[in-house]
């Protein structure tokens, strides 16, 4: 079963945008991560991005940097992230799991070993912000043999030629970065989203997910005519940080279900 393709097929049949929440592994604590992932599932996440903490991020804004720093201080590494996915699967979760992480931890772990262990744990895809298209073939080949999708990142500055080449290699969905900057919750959606998705649609029929800057249900609704899914990261980290320790699971579940409720026309939160 290809969980990512099935989830996006369900989204398309439903006719409303999916919601893909992002959570940093080990944030706020290692012990709390699994219950929070379960809360994301209970809230209706169409897929989950699990952030692999890294000391030198280049795509992450202050909120996710802060969460990663907290996780790194607890010793979280790629192996622990894989184990978290394995534990979530052991609880019966079938939601697609995508790792969002940087290339150096994968190289240090060993690409073949990573693909073997990640596949066995139930990882469905990886997004690697600092891996250029021109250098991604090795990871794509190794992960592809294990059924793990390498998801391309396209930005407003991506040329038509580059979009075409990256879409040619994609096989699950395409991640469009909404702005030329780092992650972080914002009040308004960037104005360049329609132009970017129009360029991408010329080169692929695959689903599009849009991330960076999406923080509220009105944003998800606004994306309905441009993309199949919205990725929400920094706003979710803010929810976790602001909730009392005993209320975090409830807060996370309500936040995601609110985003989904808005997408389904039920008003949301």
Provide the annotated active-site residues. 49, 60
Question: What is the three-state SS of the chain?
Answer: CCHHHHHHHHHHHHCCCEEEEEEECCCCCHHHHHHHHHHHHHCCCCCEEEECCCCCCCCCCHHHHHHHHHHHCCCCCHHHHHHHHHHHHHCCCCCCEEEECCHHHHHHHCHHHHHHHHHHHCCCEEECCCCCHHHCHHHHHHHHHCCCEECCEECCCCCHHHHHHHHHHCCCCEEEECCCCCCCCCCCCCCCHHHHHHHHHCCCCCCEEEECCCCCHHHHHHCCCCCCEEEECHHHHHHHHHCCHHHHHHHHHHHHHHHHHHHCCCCCC
CB atoms within 10 A of CB 199: 17
């Amino acid at each position: 079963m290809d969980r990512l393709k099935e989830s996006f097929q369900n989204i398309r049949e439903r006719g409303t945008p999916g919601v893909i929440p992002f959570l940093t592994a080990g944030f706020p604590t290692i012990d709390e991560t699994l219950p929070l992932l379960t809360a994301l599932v209970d809230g209706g996440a169409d897929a989950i991005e699990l952030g692999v903490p890294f000391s030198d991020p280049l795509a992450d804004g202050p909120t996710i940097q802060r969460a990663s720093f907290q996780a790194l201080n607890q010793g979280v590494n790629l192996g622990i992230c894989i184990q978290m996915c394995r534990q979530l699967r052991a609880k019966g979760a079938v939601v697609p799991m995508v790792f969002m992480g940087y290339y150096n931890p994968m190289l240090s772990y060993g690409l073949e070993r990573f693909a073997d262990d990640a596949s066995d744990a139930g990882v469905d895809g990886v997004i690697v912000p600092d891996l250029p298209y021109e250098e991604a073939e090795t990871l794509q080949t190794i992960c592809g043999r294990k059924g793990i999708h390498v998801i391309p990142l396209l930005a407003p500055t991506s040329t038509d030629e580059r979009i075409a080449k990256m879409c040619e290699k994609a096989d699950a969905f395409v991640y469009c970065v909404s702005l030329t900057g780092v992650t972080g919750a914002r009040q308004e959606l960037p104005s360049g989203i329609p132009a970017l998705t129009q360029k991408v649609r010329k080169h692929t029929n695959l689903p599009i997910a849009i991330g960076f800057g999406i923080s509220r249900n009105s944003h998800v609704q606004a994306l309905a005519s441009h993309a199949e899914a919205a990725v929400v990261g920094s706003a979710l980290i803010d929810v976790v940080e602001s909730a009392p320790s005993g209320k975090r699971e409830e807060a996370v579940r309500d936040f995601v279900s609110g985003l989904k409720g808005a997408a389904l026309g039920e008003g949301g939160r």
